[in-house]
Structure 1
Amino acid sequence: MTGIRIGGRAFRPGVAPSIAAAAFFALAISLGNWQARRAEEKLELGRRLDEGAKGPALSVPSVRLDASALDRRRVSARGRFVARAALLLDNKVLHGAAGYHVLTPLKLEGGELHVLVNRGWIAAGERSRLPAVPTPETLQTIEGIAVTPSRRFIELAPEGASGPLRQNLVPEREEKRLGLGLQPFVIEQTSDAQDGLAREWERPDTGVDRHRSYALQWYSFAALAAVLYAALSFKRADSGRD
């Protein structure tokens, strides 16, 4: 059977190299596509944030909403903080310093429903001692951005419910643990407060260039694999004859 010939060489790929090359090519393309999708997802979130910031702040009602109803929109909420149910979200870095995000449920005025407010960042200090955060007891009006917590994390086992420290945030899980009805989103507070917390929120489109760079890198690996496979599969026309 006559195969592809170029000059004095014929295309004679081996079975094992063909399988390995095809598997690596498919993997590299898949990873490149995933990185490209992540870049587009972040760009879309950034556009939604910019569009939502143009209009007036929407009031968070005391009736449950879908998580997507206010996602990346400017919102305001009025109510009282439930200090006993405050949470500390671990592994949050600001300007190179380790710390926590402080989340406190706000009982919405006019009902029994609550919304978690991410009040800001506080330095970790000694890991053996959690920082004390003052919580106002008076009626509060909070303004900020409604955010649906990311589910892009891996848990080998469900977190324990003891204490305020959390590695990941899942509103419906906290609803059961705290015994409070919660909206399915979090408010990243932007309004001022005399609480010593830093409120420098990362834009959702941060890292788009990095994802694009990774995508290009994986596509380059796929192209290189294809070129090497083709080059190594062309052999002298008289080689390998029985």
Structure 2
Amino acid sequence: MVVIVIMLQLGNWQLSRAREKESRQEQLDLRSRQPAVALPAVPVKFEDMQYRHIEASGVYVPEHTIYLDNKIYQGVAGYHIITPLRIGASSMHVLVNRGWVAADRDRSKLPQVSTPEGPVAVSGVAASATQKTLELSDELVSGQVWENLDLERYRTVTGLTLQPVMILQQDDIKDGLARQWTRPDSGASRNLGYAFQWFAMAFAVSIIYLVLSVKRERSESK
């Protein structure tokens, strides 16, 4: 009985986690439908900007462009092109994920990507500036090619002042980069699956307990 109670409590806890994630996802969905906001030159909080449509004006800093490796688009391996944008005339920058480009068969050759010169206006969705995936080697940074993007590491390497968000660019420009962003799932379905497993195990233990109890009573009555 103690085991059954513990399993039911774990199932209920997973249900509460799912409700929390669904509630948070609803808030983010509402935020994504709000009008675009201009990204200021003063630091912002990531939590206030996540999934919002944002705009930023300034100048790209192409010498600090990185190629974020191991990005798959329509079954083809490639890179995400990340370039910092200096906001206005300030010292504040924001990273812009400009899109995906296919990798060359010769991985030692990087695809050529042109960067607009002069003042530009960028619009897109605010996402986390830290992008981590599977680490294929201990060498996380190799020139312009990075396996993972860690905001603090990027700040250290470049010396730039950065906003805590990254813009997933959505501008319709002909630069050869693919921009079809998929927003991650809330993860509530996983918690619902765990809850179902706990409740199923509690049900199974209950059946086993009842069967053994009936057998014991029958053996004692003989």
TM alignment of 1:172-191, pairs within 5 A = 172-191=152-171
Contact 1:68–1:148 (CA under 8 A) maintained in structure 2: no
Which position in structure 2 is the counterpart of 1:105?
84
Structure 2 gaps of 5+ residues are none
Task: Decide whether aligned partners of structure 1 residues 94 and 162 sit closer, same or farther in structure 2, where only a CA change above 3 A counts.
Answer: closer
- 1:76, 1:59 → 2: CA distance? 5
Matched residue type, 1:171:
L
- 2:8, 2:77 → 1: CA distance? 39
Q: Does 1:230 align with 2:209?
A: yes
- 1:158, 1:114 → 2: CA distance? 28
User: What RMSD in Å do the two structures reach over aligned CA positions?
Assistant: 3.6
- 1:228, 1:100 → 2: CA distance? 53
Matched residue type, 2:68:
L
Which position in structure 2 is the counterpart of 1:202?
182
Contact 1:106–1:117 (CA under 8 A) maintained in structure 2: yes
User: How many residue pairs align between the two structures?
Assistant: 218
Q: CA deviation at 1:27?
A: 10
TM-score, length-scaled by structure 2: 0.77
Which position in structure 1 is the counterpart of 2:14?
33
More helix as a share of residues: 2
TM-score, length-scaled by structure 1: 0.71
Q: Does 1:62 align with 2:10?
A: no
Which of 48, 52, 71 is the matching residue for 1:92?
71
**Higher RCO, 1 or 2 (CA under 8 Å, sep at least 6)?**
1
Which position in structure 2 is the counterpart of 1:83?
62
CA deviation vs aligned residue, 1:6-34 (integer Å, no higher than 9, x gap): xxxxxxx9xxxx87x888x489738x818
Q: Does 1:131 align with 2:111?
A: yes
Task: Decide whether aligned partners of structure 1 residues 151 and 95 sit closer, same or farther in structure 2, where only a CA change above 3 A counts.
Answer: closer
Q: CA deviation at 1:216?
A: 5.3
Which of 147, 156, 169 is the matching residue for 2:149?
169
Task: Decide whether aligned partners of structure 1 residues 229 and 89 sit closer, same or farther in structure 2, where only a CA change above 3 A counts.
Answer: farther
Task: Decide whether aligned partners of structure 1 residues 226 and 185 sit closer, same or farther in structure 2, where only a CA change above 3 A counts.
Answer: same
